[in-house]
Structure 1
Amino acid sequence: MASPFPLLFFLGAAALLRTPAAAAPEEHLVTGLPGFHGDFPSNHYSGYVTVDEASGRSLFYYLALSERDPAADAVVLWLNGGPGCSSFDGFVYENGPFNFEPGTKPGGLPRLQLNPYSWSKVSNIMYLDSPAGVGMSYSLNKSDYTTGDLKTAADAHKFLLKWFEIYPEFQSNPFYISGESYAGVYIPTLADEVVKGIEKGVEPRISFKGYLIGNGFTDVDYDFNSFVPFAHGMGLISTDMFEDVKASCHGTFFGDVDNLCQEKIERVHWELKDLNKYNILAPCYHHPEIQQVEFANSSLPLSFRRLGETNRPFPVRKRMAGRSWPLRLALRGGHVPMWPGLGGRSLPCTSDELATAWLDDEDVRAAIHAKPWRP
């Protein structure tokens, strides 16, 4: 469960309670959500911001105002990674206003309870589906679904500039960018766009204060080379096994390694085959036999090895929002061709059933103002 407390170091003490000016578009106001009964602890808004008129490229956002002091508290943008993951992943499973629980009937909608650790306790938290083709975001030009990190950052910056025009009451609030995983690329590239815009005097001026990255992707060689040392450091493999692998691999555990080194690395993976690699303290939701993605570098496609190259284009799969296209693809990366083994199924040990059941409901999509899916 994500906690709001890491944000406290920059949010500071609350000022006298103030209410934001009524500039927020009323047509974006979320008046209720299926599965939740009661009043929201703060106003919620969701909808689209068009970042390119010619192609109709539009990005979807969901905003939960601060439950403390929305006029003074920071605006925090949240980005999930992937590339190709909807930020509703964070909304449903991590730091959003609600905890999602299974419904009372098989196949029924999940039940929503207020999350006491929501980041909306101390900030105006906004979830953005980016780039176009991810989650609820879309384009009328299918060529936009082949994109790259730099275009993604440029579109997200355009989104922010237009969003602050729509919500001028937040232009003076401290602004932070946050996220996880492949957002380790999304966030610095977007931050660079924001800073360059500020230096050029672009209006509206964004009161950018910093960014937060959790479990961030950085570099393929660095990240994947860390797996064996991490496993040893966490006590998941014995010192004897670690020293054996290190001696055979000469300290390099990924990339162009010889057959003996590869054999030793695969022994480590076999030792940890039942491990939830996303959370070593939690059990696997799916049985290991049906896990679709492994760390063994021999199975990684070339396109995955090139993650992090900011000029490298990457395709994103079709936008989902309708029963004809499984929602889990947007939440977990789905048909991004660099993940061919997924085949529309879940990542290892991970359940996306609650989010899929909830977001694939027509009443939910209507409540959050998501547009119908287009083939």
Structure 2
Amino acid sequence: MASPSPLLVALVAAALLLRTPAAAAPEEHLVNGLPGFHGSFPSNYYSGYVTVEEASERSLFYYLALSERDPAADRVVLWLNGGPGCSSFDGFVYENGPFNFEPGSTLPRLQLNPYSWSMVSNIMYLDSPAGVGMSYSLNKSDSGDLKTAADAHTFLLKVLCSGYLIGNAFTDVDYDFNSFVPFAHGMGLISTDMFEDVKASCHGTFFGNVDNLCQEKIESVHWELKDLNKYNILAPCYHHPEIQEVEFANSSLPLSFIRLGETDRPFPVRKRMAGRSWPLRLALRGGRVPMWPGLGGRSLSCTSDELATTWLDDEGVRAAIHAKSKSLIGSWELYTARIDYTHDTGTMVSYHKKFTALGYRVLIYSGDHDLCIPFPGTEAWVRSIGYQAVDKWRPWYFGDQVAGYTQGYDRNLTFLTIKGAGHAVPEYKPKESLAFYSRWLAGEKF
């Protein structure tokens, strides 16, 4: 990368495709074993800190899994979870990392993930900005898009980027937030009467400079959907684990409905989605990311991450991955409130247009059952870039089944949906995710 860009960090989930082979990580960062896993690793793993500012001892934590196929020839991919404030161990534990995590007596049990993205690439999970996950600073971090991008640039200095892929990305408030009400109606979550009432009151615009009546109508939609898992409307929302599990198990719904969204991973991988703000009710005027009203911190309903927290707060695990102890940097949090984050760049659409014009190969993908960042808003801003469609809207396949839909544009820009997936696509559809990821890395058509 020639210069730092907020594109690296200001989106919900991102991975950068790099031209260089796996960099030689320091040997002292080699991971020799992991509590909860028994057996041989399928490839070498490295983890540790890279200092990006000496004065404040601001250090970013990474975990690198070398490719299980051909580390020297396969691409190097950087994985960043967004939020902002989400640890990339979210992706490592729950989405596309080398292991599946299962409940154990004290620590989670780790089994090899047959759909890990490290099967076809070297993949590095980076906790960014400082203060997120295992990354830290001597001072409480005051962060923004530009500062975080500068730190990431320092971390990746001398590495050349040739493309990126981004999943269910929070990109532009107007496109993303305005898609919520129409998406809820289109998915059958609110009645046509309610939709027509809100549309009439809001004059077709559901976010921004709206009057009190429109805001009240939008709030009524949120209230109607309060018990849904916003990150995957097919998945259960556990208000209380024991009660919800009993209710779900004793449901009178047909089995075909109960199993919607189920994957080959032990179900559920985590009982509830966590770590990503559902910002549709939050006014971003002024730029600073606010807390969810009335909940204290950044916790949301339907959220819990016991497996990841139990594992990453264990001092034996921290020693194995060369992370600082809890006494020094505190407990691991998937979605931290330790940083004050300011969005100082605005819409990301202009950055996408800039990078595609420079020749970067780009894949924008969306789980089509995500209510947090609905895919129609993402599709709309992709279209707004103005490139000519060179591959018409059509299904793409995994095996002989439709796995989603795709449309290709000039300048190597592709939009892709994954059928039945929620916000964290690899978590819900691991096989299909490895399929589109592998094809994209290889430059194949979907």
TM-score, normalised with respect to structure 1:
0.65
**1:256 Cα deviation after fit:** 3.0
In structure 2, C-alpha distance between the alignment counterparts of 1:313 and 1:111, rounded to whole Å: 12
Deviates more, 1:17-26 or 1:239-248: 17-26
Contact residue 273 and residue 288 of structure 1 kept, 8 A: no
Larger relative helix fraction: 1
Deviates more, 1:115-124 or 1:20-29: 20-29
Deviates more, 1:209-218 or 1:252-261: 252-261
In structure 2, C-alpha distance between the alignment counterparts of 1:232 and 1:335, rounded to whole Å: 30
Give the number of equivalent residue pairs: 321
Deviates more, 1:277-286 or 1:340-349: 340-349
Give per-residue Cα distances to partners, 1:149-174, cap 9 Å, x unaligned.
1010011010012xxxxxxxxxxxxx
**1:61 Cα deviation after fit:** 0.2
**1:340 Cα deviation after fit:** 6.0
Q: Secondary structure at the match of 2:61?
A: strand
Query: Taking structure 1 as reference, are residues 252 and 267 closer, same or farther at Cα in structure 2, changes over 3 Å only?
Result: same
Query: Taking structure 1 as reference, are residues 95 and 302 closer, same or farther at Cα in structure 2, changes over 3 Å only?
Result: closer
Deviates more, 1:246-255 or 1:127-136: 246-255
**1:68 Cα deviation after fit:** 0.7
C-alpha RMSD over aligned residues? 12.4
In structure 2, C-alpha distance between the alignment counterparts of 1:139 and 1:218, rounded to whole Å: 27
**1:136 Cα deviation after fit:** 0.9
Larger relative strand fraction: 2
Query: Taking structure 1 as reference, are residues 247 and 297 closer, same or farther at Cα in structure 2, changes over 3 Å only?
Result: farther
Contact residue 238 and residue 271 of structure 2 kept, 8 A: no
Contact residue 59 and residue 130 of structure 2 kept, 8 A: yes
Query: Taking structure 1 as reference, are residues 153 and 323 closer, same or farther at Cα in structure 2, changes over 3 Å only?
Result: closer
> Which blocks of at least 5 consecutive residues in structure 2 are unaligned?
323-439, 441-446
TM-score, normalised with respect to structure 2:
0.55
**1:347 Cα deviation after fit:** 2.4
Query: Taking structure 1 as reference, are residues 21 and 149 closer, same or farther at Cα in structure 2, changes over 3 Å only?
Result: closer
Deviates more, 1:294-303 or 1:129-138: 294-303
Contact residue 274 and residue 304 of structure 2 kept, 8 A: no
Contact residue 83 and residue 277 of structure 2 kept, 8 A: no
In structure 2, C-alpha distance between the alignment counterparts of 1:12 and 1:312, rounded to whole Å: 23
Contact residue 270 and residue 307 of structure 2 kept, 8 A: no
**1:126 Cα deviation after fit:** 0.5
Query: Taking structure 1 as reference, are residues 284 and 317 closer, same or farther at Cα in structure 2, changes over 3 Å only?
Result: closer
**1:24 Cα deviation after fit:** 3.0
Contact residue 87 and residue 127 of structure 2 kept, 8 A: yes
**1:265 Cα deviation after fit:** 1.8
The equivalent residue for 1:335 is 288
Q: Secondary structure at the match of 1:314?
A: coil
Deviates more, 1:339-348 or 1:307-316: 307-316
In structure 1, C-alpha distance between the alignment counterparts of 2:255 and 2:148, rounded to whole Å: 21
**1:323 Cα deviation after fit:** 23
Deviates more, 1:89-98 or 1:7-16: 7-16
Contact residue 129 and residue 148 of structure 2 kept, 8 A: yes
Give per-residue Cα distances to partners, 1:328-353, cap 9 Å, x unaligned.
99999999864464435742212211
In structure 1, C-alpha distance between the alignment counterparts of 2:82 and 2:233, rounded to whole Å: 20
Q: Given the alignment, which residue of 88, 100, 112 partners 1:114?
A: 112
Query: Taking structure 1 as reference, are residues 286 and 324 closer, same or farther at Cα in structure 2, changes over 3 Å only?
Result: closer
Query: Taking structure 1 as reference, are residues 294 and 153 closer, same or farther at Cα in structure 2, changes over 3 Å only?
Result: farther
Q: Secondary structure at the match of 1:294?
A: helix
Contact residue 293 and residue 348 of structure 1 kept, 8 A: no
> Which blocks of at least 5 consecutive residues in structure 1 are unaligned?
162-204
Give per-residue Cα distances to partners, 1:251-270, cap 9 Å, x unaligned.
11123323332232222222
Query: Taking structure 1 as reference, are residues 63 and 328 closer, same or farther at Cα in structure 2, changes over 3 Å only?
Result: farther
Contact residue 55 and residue 141 of structure 1 kept, 8 A: yes
Contact residue 335 and residue 342 of structure 1 kept, 8 A: no
The equivalent residue for 2:264 is 311
In structure 1, C-alpha distance between the alignment counterparts of 2:248 and 2:286, rounded to whole Å: 16
**1:359 Cα deviation after fit:** 0.5
**1:295 Cα deviation after fit:** 25
In structure 2, C-alpha distance between the alignment counterparts of 1:303 and 1:141, rounded to whole Å: 52
**1:23 Cα deviation after fit:** 3.9
